[in-house]
Structure 1
Amino acid sequence: MSEPAPTPTPRRARVRAPELTGEGGWLNTGGRQYSLADLRGRIVLLDFWTFCCINCLHVLDELRELEEKHRDTVVVVGVHSPKFAHEAEHRAVVDAVERYGVEHPVLDDPQLATWKQYAVRAWPTLVVIDPEGYVVAQHAGEGHAHAIERLVEELEAEHTAKGTLRRGDGPYVPPEPEPTTLRFPGKALRLPAGTFLVSDTTRHQIVELAGDGESELRRIGSGTRGFTDGDAATACFSEPQGLALLDDGSVVVADTVNHALRRLDPATGEVTTLAGTGRQWWQGSPTSGPARETDLSSPWDVAWWQGRVWIAMSGVHQLWAYDPAGHTVSVAAGTTNEGLVDGPAGQAWFAQPSGLAATPERLWLADAETSALRWVEADGSVHTAVGTGLFDFGHRDGAAGQALFQHPLGVTALPDGSVAVADTYNHALRRYDPATGEVTTLATDLREPSDAVLDGDDIVVVESARHRLTRLRLPEEAVRVQAVAHRTRRAATEVAPGRLRLDVIFQAPKGQKLDTRYGPSTRLLVSATPPELLLDGEGAGTGLARTLELNPAVEEGVLHVSAMAASCDDDPDNPYPACHVHQQDWGVPVRLAGDGADRLPLVLAGLDA
């Protein structure tokens, strides 16, 4: 007779999980409200997210396989914690849950009540709760699915042996599908024949509409999420966004969640892959090379400029370019650091570039997370027309230096040299005139506009959350609206002036160790807004702990912290261990106070310290 399997050793000291509360209530549950007691006996994975955040969208995709594999033991609960004012609107959260295919319950927490109870500091953050209601792990950033998978398997074994694991169907109830022609369309393109191509993002298809912008002519793509080349009926996309017309009449598609560029032949409907492997780019991956062999990261829009396809590489806060002559891709501007920094291409910082528009002299871009309109000159230098940083946004017309947008996703070059901005979270179409430096409002009450294209004297707007194209006459004069200014809803952390100990906490997942075969396996980058906030401690290094010197003359600001750690399977007999990259960017609003903290802990992976 075989010996019974030993009971797994309980993990670390346990902390009781705080209750889940949120004024917005629960989504994807058929109207039922839940408490942690209702989920007792299941492994609960809390995903603190906000729908503006590209890293949060990456985590949604990372979790799909884990959700499916452990559906009878694991309940994933999305806790939606807004950054922008628009994200606190319940209707917007409902839309986002459908838009991004979220197939688990979501708690709408507009006042950040649960966020504060769990001491979360960054989007995204994952918290694992065991079947007895205790917190056993916390991970900030993306790239942790493998570690959580292993922890789930351990918890399944441990609580099966204890008799505390409850299997069965989870609380997820899918919403009823809506019979609209388009469903959360992303971008549009007017073809030379006068018809429109639209990325029907949530349905994973490209749709051709007649010149009226309403009548459906054909669909390209099977409608099933996937990464397959082929004809119009069999090709597969995954949440496609941007579209660009090339000189040969073909169309480049930014196939966002496939991390790829696809080529569409409008004449035949045939789809082929131009660039990308289907894998997401991570720190340390090649930044140039053969297009089909180089990883990309959430390309959101594309534009033909200066003989290349420019790519708004939202997932890594950069601009890349595809060279059709050499079939190569390479970084064109940006450092992967998230923020708003102008200057030479190799030194500029972006924050989720999401919309592109080319003129002969400039490449305009909507930099979503900094609520900014920016441009690239022919020499590669980067400039900002409107916008100040990651935490300032609103709806304010006037001089560019004081005008405000809120998470714009699209930009369109107008015939007079000005540009229209799809000011997404303000539900507005705005206009910036470089000749005068003025921002005006062209139209309001546009539900989450994400793009616009010219059609004669009209501008056709993609109203993403109304699932349609809306035709507007370009007015001779802009209208003004009442000025509104916001800062992010997150409360500032009070810290003492002078020396501040920054500790990024990283614990390699069980069965892994830091990968030091080729040198240091960790990286830490620190900066501040305004720059004067930091007297010492700015810059890059390999250690995950650093002493900063805060300027007592600066009352408040934002500490920007970017951390990365690489871990590999700890198996000396395996010459090719599996390795993983864990990374996260934090923007921590701070306020200097005499009785403030002298230590700032940020959890990359492990238990809170």
Structure 2
Amino acid sequence: MTSAPSTPRIRASELVGETWFNIGDKDLSLKDLRGKIVILDFWAFCCVNCLHVLDELRPLEAKYSDVLVTVGVHSPKFDYEAETSAVAAAIERYDIAHPVLNDPELITWQAYTARAWPTLVVVDPEGYVVAHLTGEGHVSGLYSLIDQLIEEHDAKGTLHRGEGPYVAPEPVARDLKFPGKAIALGARGTQTGSFLVADTGHHRLVEVADDLETVLQTIGGNGTGDSVSEAAAQANPELISVRGHADGGREIALFNEPQGLALLPEDIAAQVGYDVLIADAVNHRLRAVNLATGEVSTVAGNGVQRLIDSERVQAEADSDDAETVDLAPFATEAVQTSLSTPWDVQYSEAESKAIIAMAGTHQLFSYDPVSKQLAIYAGTALEGLLDGPADEAWLAQSSGLSIDAEGTLWVADSETSAVRYVIPSTKSDSGKPEVGTVVGTGLFDFGFRDGKPQDARLQHPLGVTNLPDGSVLIADTYNHAIRRWAPQTLNPDGTTKPAEVTTVARDLQEPSDILVETDAEGTAVSIVVVETNAHQLVRISVPEKFLHVDEGAMQVQRPPTKLVAGDVPINISFTAPKGQKLDDRWGDPTQLTISSTPENLLLEGEGRETGLTRQLRLNPEITEGVLHVTARAAACDGEHGQPIPDSAACHLYQQDWGIPVTIHADTSDGAHDKLDLDLRGIH
């Protein structure tokens, strides 16, 4: 079995964009980097897969610091992501310690023919492209490639060792740093009315008083268990920025960008010995804390990002009735099972389980604190917006959860700029959870527009919460607003008031979570907003009348690929890393899944089949759309020409593309008559 040929070796294009970060008061060119091995990381700060790559690259950058320079090329998906201040905040939030170029017009993106977030391009010390990689999980191959380049260019005298161009920014001390989520602690807090905050940028939990400012206690992150003074933090910023994984008391526990929090019912907490579940995002773990003792434990996740087992993928490919593509096995114990960037968690009394927003796999998981059982709750691991039974639905980087009085789970589905809901299994007609959508249309549609839900637009929401009247508040993060979806109701005169989306508050700085405060009668009197980029919690009165906003609906302005109508072959390039070979013990170890929006864009070629080539037939009556492509290949440790030993470690390489396309009659206006993509391009 052979794959399509790899991309030819070419001279690297110049780095063109709007603003440079992390290099001091200057710009950077490829000429300045001559003699270094360069990794160009095309990323967007909304993209969870891009955040995975940032963490994958950290040890690589540390090992090869004298010969390797990583350059982040920020290539925005959403309108807000193009803003210079937003990129600067993201660089600080994610502790990016390499140069970053903001490329809002996607000039460098197009020069390097990037088609997906993330994309990595490796440039050798002489300025030639030697690898073009899409997706995540490529670091093991990069180690071997960099070793080869060091050996080659050391011998040629073209490798220059020494410090790179990175200039660290001045540290800033804060009580909170990019807080992600918060919960009200009620009677279990240190003081009445206190809140527990995921102090994400400081990798710890912080309990604050009802005034939203006074720090009552900290758990993890600083090694002391006490609030660190501003003066001490300024003198030694690392005191409050220790990332890692460690269980134990508040003095020694460590987190890595914790996000969502869930307060368990008191009877459940008494049984399991802890009060709060924590979505410890970058550790890929579900953690727990006993509020009285400060003791932190790990209840699910082994710290390894969730991958898919290649043998079971092959079995699934041969099955006629399997829909769910995430077939990574669950270990007997939850703490031995891999998770992927859990972003929020809520306890569902209707399901008697905690529901976890597993942003990294575009799914919802469930965890029973009593039985310690972990399971997939909803989502196939395919990214998109598709409603229906939970085991067939598509989600897209779900990042915020809330449960209403009826037990319905509400979901901020950030990459589709949508608000989804899940009817619990105990209340659905089928006896299984059912997924629906009230706002949002797909991966590439967003904006800032109130009105009928089908016309309303959000921009990368990260949080939701429920009001007592049945409506839903939305932390519309990239619109810097709090929005409200209200269901259809009856007016006092018997007429119908249609469902609508309105705006409650504006001019916030990336709100990521919302809490509702009610009076003794259960009436909402105020909301508490986690204002992430302002590093604070703020209290806002619930207005009697809401603003009305229509700043337009938008689509992702990623440049479309021009294709001719009719027959268009698609070829996926794949080269196994050095020391690995394709795992053909059970047949063809590659797989290609293709669909389109709209569905009639593809006349032939859709579906899931083995192989990395396919003949597509594009409908000449459709002018534009999106091709959805998922490619996979399984490789195991072993040498070419030798059988794979039974003990070999095996790896699954996968990439998902959503490629905007325009359809043209012929190639006269630059349209392509074939589509070439790289699953893995090391050569």
Root mean square deviation, CA, Å: 1.5
SS at match of 1:139: strand
1:396 to 430, 438, 449: 449
In the alignment, the residues of structure 1 paired with residue 121 and residue 446 of structure 2 have an alpha-carbon distance, to the nearest angstrom, of 29
Q: Does 1:339 align with 2:413?
A: no
Corresponding residue for 1:450? Answer: 512
Q: Secondary structure at the match of 1:61?
A: helix
- Corresponding residue of 1:386: 439
| Contact 1:143/1:580 (8 A) holds in 2 | no
What is residue 665 of structure 2 aligned with on the other side?
A: 594
| Large movers: runs of 4+ above 6 Å | none
Among residues 350, 358, 363, which one is paired with 2:409 in the alignment? Answer: 363
Compute the displacement of 1:286 (Å). Answer: 1.1
Work out the CA distance in 2 between the residues paired with 1:128 and 1:318. Answer: 32
In 2, Cα distance between equivalents of 1:526 and 1:289: 34
Q: Output the CA distance in 2 between the equivalents of 1:12 and 1:188.
A: 47
**In the alignment, structure 1 residue 603 sits paired with structure 2 residue 602:** no
Say if 2:633 is the partner of 1:565. yes
Deviates more, 1:598-607 or 1:100-109: 598-607
Aligned to 2:553: 485
| C-alpha distance in structure 1 between counterparts of 2:617 and 2:407, whole Å | 43
User: Which letter maps to 1:142?
Assistant: E
Give the letter aligned to residue 147 of structure 1.
G
String of CA shifts for 1:435-466, please: whole Å, max 9, x gaps: 33200000000110000112231100011011
Distance 1:607 1:499, change over 3 A: farther
Residue 570 of structure 1, CA deviation? 2.1
Is 1:410 paired with 2:405? Answer: no
- Distance in 1 of aligned mates of 2:107 and 2:217: 46
Find the partner of 2:150 among 153, 156, 181: 156
Alpha-carbon separation, structure 1, partners of 2:448 and 2:591:
37
Asked if structure 2 preserves the Cα contact closer than 8 Å seen for 1:28 and 1:103, the reply is yes
Contact 2:93 2:178 (8 Å CA) reproduced: yes
Q: Secondary structure at the match of 1:148?
A: helix
Question: Superposition pairs for residues 120-269 of structure 1, below 5 Å?
Answer: 120-193=114-187, 194-223=193-222, 224-248=242-266, 249=269, 250-269=275-294
For 2:9 and 2:465, locate their aligned partners in 1 and report how far apart those are by CA, in whole Å. Answer: 53
Q: Are the aligned partners of 1:289 and 1:330 in contact in 2 as well (CA < 8 Å)? A: no
| Structure 2 Cα separation of the partners of residues 208 and 564 of structure 1 | 44
Which residue of structure 2 lines up, in the alignment, with residue 576 of structure 1?
Answer: 647
Q: Is the contact made by 2:253 and 2:296 (CA closer than 8 Å) also made in structure 1?
A: yes
Long gaps (5+) in structure 2 = 1-5, 188-192, 223-241, 270-274, 310-327, 489-497, 519-524
Matched residue of 2:253: which SS?
coil
- What CA deviation, in whole Å up to 9, does each residue of 1:242-284 have, x standing for no partner? 0001013500000001111000111111100010000011122
Q: Which residue number corresponds to residue 16 of structure 1?
A: 11
2:340 is aligned with 1:294: no
Letter in 1 for 2:510: E
Contact 1:143-1:581 at 8 Å conserved across structures: no
Distance in 2 between residues matched to 1:12 and 1:562, nearest whole Å: 19
Report the Cα offset of residue 598 of structure 1.
2.1
Q: How many angstroms does 1:520 deviate by?
A: 3.4
Shift of 1:12: 9.7
2: CA distance between counterparts of 1:203 and 1:569?
Answer: 38
SS in 1 for 2:24: coil
Equivalent-residue separation in structure 1 for 2:159 and 2:653 (angstroms) = 29
The answer to whether residue 302 in structure 2 is matched with residue 303 in structure 1 is no
> 1:462-513 deviations in whole A, cap 9, x for unaligned?
1101100111011122111233221111111111122221111111122321
CA distance in 2, matches of 1:564, 1:61: 22
- Residue 519 of structure 1, CA deviation: 3.9
For the residues of structure 2 that align with 1:328 and 1:258, how far apart are their CA atoms?
Answer: 20
Measured after TM superposition, the shift of residue 371 of structure 1 is: 0.3
Helix, strand or coil at the partner of 1:296: coil
Q: Please, which moves more after superposition, 563-572 or 290-299? A: 563-572
Query: Which SS does the other structure have where 2:279 is aligned?
Result: strand
Q: Is the 8 A contact 1:289 1:329 kept in 2?
A: no
Please list the CA deviations of residues 414-448 of structure 1 after superposition, one character each: whole Å capped at 9, or x if unmatched: 11110100000000000001233200000000110
Is the Cα contact below 8 Å between 2:285 and 2:339 reproduced in 1? Answer: yes
Distance 1:290 1:463 in 2: 36
Q: Whole-Å Cα distance in 2 between the matches of residues 499 and 13 of structure 1?
A: 24
Aligned to 2:375: 330
Task: Report the AA paired with residue 665 of structure 2.
Answer: G
Mapped partners of 1:399, 1:286: distance in 2: 42
Segment of structure 1 superposing worse, 521-530 or 109-118: 521-530
Distance change in 2, residues 1:366/1:62 (3 Å):
same
Contact 1:502-1:545 within 8 A present in 2 as well:
yes
CA apart distance, 1:607 = 6.3
Tell me how far 1:575 sits from its aligned partner. Answer: 4.9
Q: What secondary structure does 1:559 align onto?
A: strand
Give, as a single letter, the amino acid of the residue that structure 1 aligns with 2:456.
A
Q: Which residue of 2 aligns with 1:62?
A: 56
Superimposed CA distance per residue, residues 69-93 of structure 1 (whole angstroms, 9 cap, x where no aligned partner): 1111100110000010001001000
CA drift of 1:240 comes to 0.5
Deviation at residue 219 of structure 1 after TM alignment: 1.0
* Aligned residue number for residue 272 of structure 2: none
Deviation at 1:574, TM superposition (A): 5.7
Q: Is the 8 A contact 1:287 1:331 kept in 2?
A: no
The amino acid of 2:470's aligned partner reads G
Q: Quick one: distance in 2 between partners of 1:209 and 1:565?
A: 48
What residue in structure 1 maps to residue 237 of structure 2?
none
State how 1:75-154 maps to structure 2 within 5 Å. 75-154=69-148
Q: C-alpha separation between the residues in 1 aligned to 2:137 and 2:589?
A: 15
Instruction: Give aligned-pair identity as a percent.
Output: 55
Amino acid at match of 2:568: L
More moved, 571-580 vs 457-466:
571-580
Q: Using the alignment, how far apart are the partners of 2:247 and 2:633 within structure 1?
A: 35
Q: CA deviation at 1:104?
A: 0.8
TM-score by length of 2: 0.85
> Mapping of 1:469-508 within 5 angstroms?
469-508=537-576
CA–CA distance in structure 2, aligned partners of residues 12 and 520 of structure 1: 22
Amino acid at match of 1:203: H
> What runs of 5+ residues in structure 1 fail to find an aligned partner?
1-10
Q: Distance in 2 between matches of 1:226 and 1:432?
A: 38
Q: Which amino acid aligns with 1:242?
A: G
Deviation (angstroms), 1:531: 1.5
String of CA shifts for 1:538-596, please: whole Å, max 9, x gaps.
22122111112222222111111111222222244865333322221111001111123
Deviates more, 1:533-542 or 1:161-170: 533-542
Using structure 1 for the length normalisation, give the TM-score.
0.96
2:7–2:681 Cα contact (<8 Å) kept: no
